Chains A and B, each alone.
Chain A
Amino acid sequence: MMYPYDLAKQEKERFLLQQLNELTDCHVEYCSEYRSMVEKSGGFTQAETLEELPFIPVQLFKMMDLLSIPREDVVKVLTSSGTTGQQVSKIYLDRETAVSQTHALVEVMKPVLGGKRLPMVILDTKSVLKDRTSFSARGAGILGFSNFGRKHFYALNEDMTVDWDGLRHYLDEHRGSTILLFGFTFMVWEYFYQEAEKQNIQLDMGESILIHGGGWKKLQDEAVDADIFKRELKERFGIRRVHNYYGMVEQVGSIFVECEQGHLHTPNYADVLIRDAITFGPLPMGEQGLIQVMSVLPKSYPGHSLLTEDLGTILGEDNCSCGWKGKYFTVAGRIPKAELRGCSDTFAFDRKEGNG
């Protein structure tokens, strides 16, 4: 069995329940807003099953600051990548949580990447990392994953064009060794693949592994699914190993990575539940609903049990043919935005710019 995908259902549930119940206690004690939420919405008794564990919507982190630590202990603030004008999530990390997230990420990726640091090409610009205390989702992802690589090469120039010459040079230099490629799904597609296609550029990336995440929304609009994505990257760049991951800034570290079968897996210290999109009641395996993510890592903010706005389906548990244990699932995308009728929000004057 492969750590950290080696705990079977019963054992894993026992471990998670104990850890997550402790976290609820801890956040109730140290985060007064969280305490009010739990107490005023029915009170809290220790959960007997994972389904009973209290959960809060991810978007709450956009609506308010939630911390379970004194402000002076904050070492890093992560923000979600909202489109301009939208409110962003703010996630406050202390040293302990930041460190455990970094460790967890290393463990989650080890079965895919092995233990050695690989030459790494980041399909993004270097400027995303400018501020070292406040990170966007993109920055946090790059920083987290850059631990797996060495001799980091940023393939995109500041203006989002590809540094093709630099990239060719880098590939030549590391010919023969496995290269780690990392990027955000839509950026890999739009700025890297589509650019190469436009300029009719063909590359041999050799024995490389591409890790990508961040959502499929833009690609779905262009009717590009995981199969097309993999096929095109293989044909144009010779990339044979592609792993998507599902994760969010609100639970950095405990990400869900695709196994060789193309299924997203839950590691030992995280889990998912699917809830009915309307009633929030738990759904059985195989049915699509809202994804609830649980993780034992968030100690500095009450993010150990979150209801996302993503729809997903659990395919099975402990029996994926890849050999990894844990639940495995697919993500279908975000629920459609609510367009409420009403007097307010009408001319939407402040939401658009320019002189139409």
Chain B
Amino acid sequence: MRVFWPKSQNWREVIFDLRKQETLTPFHPEVLSFVQALSMRLVRMRAYPEVVALGYWLRRAHIHEMKEAWLEETKNRFVKSRGTVFHLAPSNVDTIFIYSWMLSLLAGNRNIIRVSGKEQLQTNALLSVIIDVLQEAEHTTIAERTIVLTYDHSEQVTAFLSSECHTRVVWGGDETVNAIRRIQLAPIANELVFPDRFSLAVLNAEAVLHAKSEEKEQLLQRFYNDSFWFDQMACSSPRLIVWTGSNEVIEAVQIEFWSLFDQVIRAKEAELMSAIQVQKFATGLALAAEVETKEFKHGTTFSRVSFERVPANVRERHCGGGLFFECKATELAGVSTMIVDKDQTVSYFGFSKEELGAFVEQVPTRGIDRIVPVGQALDFDGVWDGQSFLKSFTREVVIL
């Protein structure tokens, strides 16, 4: 057990102290000033683009917008925070725990955050900034209501913290969700879980082919960010590309798109890792043995596997790191039947809102919680996997 905040090594005592703190009202001025201070620090961390993105998300104007929308929605109603929220942060998408913590803080809750024990440069850089800001005298109100800690897998500790909280937030995929779900929560508590998800991009071949060159360049840059910022391992990074249009147009545009994409990746001079190269090669070959697989093209900067259709179990075998599944559909409407429960984000290019609306109406499964233009796949929002954080982090008191 290691407690990063507060500066005490007696973690049980720290938890007892937390209990004594009163909760705050949603969008409390002290919270807003803390968020403000943190935002200003984060936007300066240029070495980490996703941290900068987080900083922008927390900037004054955006939080103000959220506050206005909240006030509008809760007009003449009594909405209070829940109490203590226990966040189990993922180890790898380093910024996620901040989004989840910030929204809980904005809702007025006390927070216990279990960060990953894996030593990661980013988390550490991020952690030290957070601790810096928590230490500032004007943020005592927040500091007293925040615990940041890490511990090795321990059912007892998780059970203790779960019994302490009013809301538990579990990031981390199917295994973690299943393991944590076995550990009881206080009966009064609610829970938000984020299991493994799969995401795809739908590209209108005609539109890509006829896009102006600047537009095409922008598309490729955005597609790069969506897929490579988190090594294609974020749940919203596109792993399957569905091309819509006629066969000839699709084939023509594929050749152009992928060769330009290769140049984009090379220009970034991103470091390639041998183990990932081998992993992609092995995964592609293993998938080639499936009947639905048409072709496997292993490349240096990325690899492609084309499919007749992509069954759910094949989606499970994706290894990340620049492996693209591809398939074709004559039109967007036809894509809806490809969607499985796990599918989360569709990033798109070359479709109108009406077409996308009609598409989502036709999806017969649990799949699809977000439909965003290419380039916004990773943008976090207050609604994720179909659930609103602010709603889950608060409760309404009915007065008749």
Q: Are B152 and A356 in contact (CB under 8 A)?
A: yes
Task: List the A side residues contacting B116 at CB < 8 Å.
Answer: 346-347
Which residues 282-319 of B have a CB within 8 angstroms of A? 282-286, 288-290, 293-298, 300
Q: Are B277 and A36 in contact (CB under 8 A)?
A: no
Q: Are B171 and A346 in contact (CB under 8 A)?
A: yes
Tell me whether B176 is interfacial, beta carbon within 8 Å.
Answer: yes
Given contacts A41-B288, A342-B231, contact A355 B171 (CB under 8 A): no
Q: Are B293 and A63 in contact (CB under 8 A)?
A: no
Q: Are A37 and B281 in contact (CB under 8 A)?
A: no
Q: Are B172 and A344 in contact (CB under 8 A)?
A: yes
Q: Are B233 and A342 in contact (CB under 8 A)?
A: yes
Q: How many residues of A contact B (CB 8 A)?
A: 40
Task: List the B side residues contacting A307 at CB < 8 Å.
Answer: 278, 281
Instruction: Bits for B90-108, please: 1 = Cβ < 8 Å to A, else 0.
Output: 1111101000000000000
Given contacts A41-B297, A277-B277, A355-B155, contact A342 B92 (CB under 8 A): yes
Which residues 4-48 of A have a CB within 8 angstroms of B? 32-33, 36-37, 40-42
Given contacts A307-B278, A356-B151, contact A343 B175 (CB under 8 A): no
Task: List the B side residues contacting A280 at CB < 8 Å.
Answer: 277, 281, 298
Tell me whether B383 is interfacial, beta carbon within 8 Å.
Answer: no
The residue that A60 contacts in the complex, of B88, B285, B296, B321, with Cβ under 8 A, is B285
Q: Are B295 and A40 in contact (CB under 8 A)?
A: yes
Nearest A residue to B303 via CB reads: A41
CA A255 to CA B386, docked complex, whole Å: 56
Tell me whether A338 is interfacial, beta carbon within 8 Å.
Answer: yes
Task: List the A side residues contacting B88 at CB < 8 Å.
Answer: 346-347
> Nearest-CB distance from B185 to chain A (Å)?
16
Tell me whether A59 is interfacial, beta carbon within 8 Å.
Answer: yes
> Nearest-CB distance from A30 to chain B (Å)?
14
Nearest B residue to A338 via CB reads: B275
Nearest B residue to A335 via CB reads: B274
Instruction: Bits for A318-354, please: 1 = Cβ < 8 Å to B, else 0.
Output: 0000000000000000011111111111111110101
> Nearest-CB distance from A48 to chain B (Å)?
21
Q: How many residues of B contact A (CB 8 A)?
A: 61
> Nearest-CB distance from A302 to chain B (Å)?
11
Tell me whether B267 is interfacial, beta carbon within 8 Å.
Answer: no
Given contacts A36-B293, A344-B196, A346-B171, contact A57 B275 (CB under 8 A): no
Q: Are A64 and B286 in contact (CB under 8 A)?
A: yes
Tell me whether A223 is interfacial, beta carbon within 8 Å.
Answer: no
Q: Are A278 and B272 in contact (CB under 8 A)?
A: yes
Nearest A residue to B172 via CB reads: A346
Tell me whether B213 is interfacial, beta carbon within 8 Å.
Answer: no
Tell me whether A232 is interfacial, beta carbon within 8 Å.
Answer: no
CA A338 to CA B293, docked complex, whole Å: 26
Give the A-B contact count at a CB cut-off of 8 A: 163
Tell me whether B268 is interfacial, beta carbon within 8 Å.
Answer: no
Given contacts A341-B233, A343-B233, contact A59 B179 (CB under 8 A): no
Q: Are A356 and B276 in contact (CB under 8 A)?
A: no
> Nearest-CB distance from B290 to chain A (Å)?
8
> Nearest-CB distance from A221 to chain B (Å)?
17
Q: Are B173 and A343 in contact (CB under 8 A)?
A: yes
Tell me whether B212 is interfacial, beta carbon within 8 Å.
Answer: no
Task: List the B side residues contacting A86 at CB < 8 Å.
Answer: none
Given contacts A336-B275, A342-B233, contact A348 B153 (CB under 8 A): yes
Tell me whether B156 is interfacial, beta carbon within 8 Å.
Answer: yes
CA A341 to CA B157, docked complex, whole Å: 26
Task: List the A side residues contacting B276 at CB < 8 Å.
Answer: 338, 340
CA A12 to CA B4, docked complex, whole Å: 63
Task: List the A side residues contacting B179 at CB < 8 Å.
Answer: 347, 349-350
Tell me whether B273 is interfacial, beta carbon within 8 Å.
Answer: yes
Q: Are B282 and A343 in contact (CB under 8 A)?
A: no
Q: Are A343 and B231 in contact (CB under 8 A)?
A: no
Instruction: Bits for B142-172, please: 1 = Cβ < 8 Å to A, else 0.
Output: 0000000001111111000000000000011
> Nearest-CB distance from B158 to chain A (Å)?
9
Tell me whether A290 is interfacial, beta carbon within 8 Å.
Answer: yes
Tell me whether B85 is interfacial, beta carbon within 8 Å.
Answer: no
Task: List the B side residues contacting A167 at CB < 8 Å.
Answer: none
Given contacts A33-B289, A342-B234, contact A57 B278 (CB under 8 A): yes
Given contacts A37-B289, A41-B298, contact A345 B278 (CB under 8 A): no
Nearest A residue to B179 via CB reads: A349
Q: Are A342 and B278 in contact (CB under 8 A)?
A: no
Tell me whether B197 is interfacial, beta carbon within 8 Å.
Answer: yes
Nearest B residue to A38 via CB reads: B288
Tell me whether A309 is interfacial, beta carbon within 8 Å.
Answer: yes
Interface-central residue, A37, A341, A354, by most chain B CB under 10 Å: A341
CA A32 to CA B273, docked complex, whole Å: 31
> Nearest-CB distance from B25 to chain A (Å)?
32
Task: List the B side residues contacting A340 at CB < 8 Å.
Answer: 92, 231, 233, 276, 320-321
Tell me whether A279 is interfacial, beta carbon within 8 Å.
Answer: yes
Task: List the B side residues contacting A338 at CB < 8 Å.
Answer: 273, 275-276, 279, 321
Nearest B residue to A290 via CB reads: B274
Tell me whether A56 is interfacial, beta carbon within 8 Å.
Answer: yes
Task: List the B side residues contacting A278 at CB < 8 Å.
Answer: 272, 274, 277, 300
Given contacts A343-B173, A352-B153, contact A337 B275 (CB under 8 A): yes
CA A37 to CA B289, docked complex, whole Å: 6
Nearest A residue to B320 via CB reads: A340
CA A356 to CA B152, docked complex, whole Å: 5
Tell me whether B56 is interfacial, beta carbon within 8 Å.
Answer: no
Tell me whether B230 is interfacial, beta carbon within 8 Å.
Answer: yes
Interface-central residue, A277, A278, A336, by most chain B CB under 10 Å: A278
Closest 7 CB pairs of A and B: A342-B233, A346-B172, A356-B152, A349-B179, A344-B173, A338-B275, A346-B90
Q: 15 A–B contact pairs at CB < 8 A?
A: A41-B285, A41-B295, A56-B282, A56-B285, A57-B285, A60-B285, A64-B286, A278-B300, A336-B273, A344-B90, A344-B196, A346-B172, A346-B176, A349-B179, A352-B153
Residues of B at the A interface (CB closer than 8 Å) are 88-94, 96, 116, 118, 151-157, 171-176, 179-180, 194, 196-197, 230-235, 237, 272-279, 281-286, 288-290, 293-298, 300, 320-321
List 14 additional A-B contacts (Cβ < 8 Å) besides A280-B277, A280-B281, A350-B175.
Answer: A57-B285, A59-B278, A278-B300, A340-B320, A341-B93, A341-B231, A341-B233, A341-B234, A343-B173, A344-B174, A345-B175, A346-B90, A349-B176, A352-B152
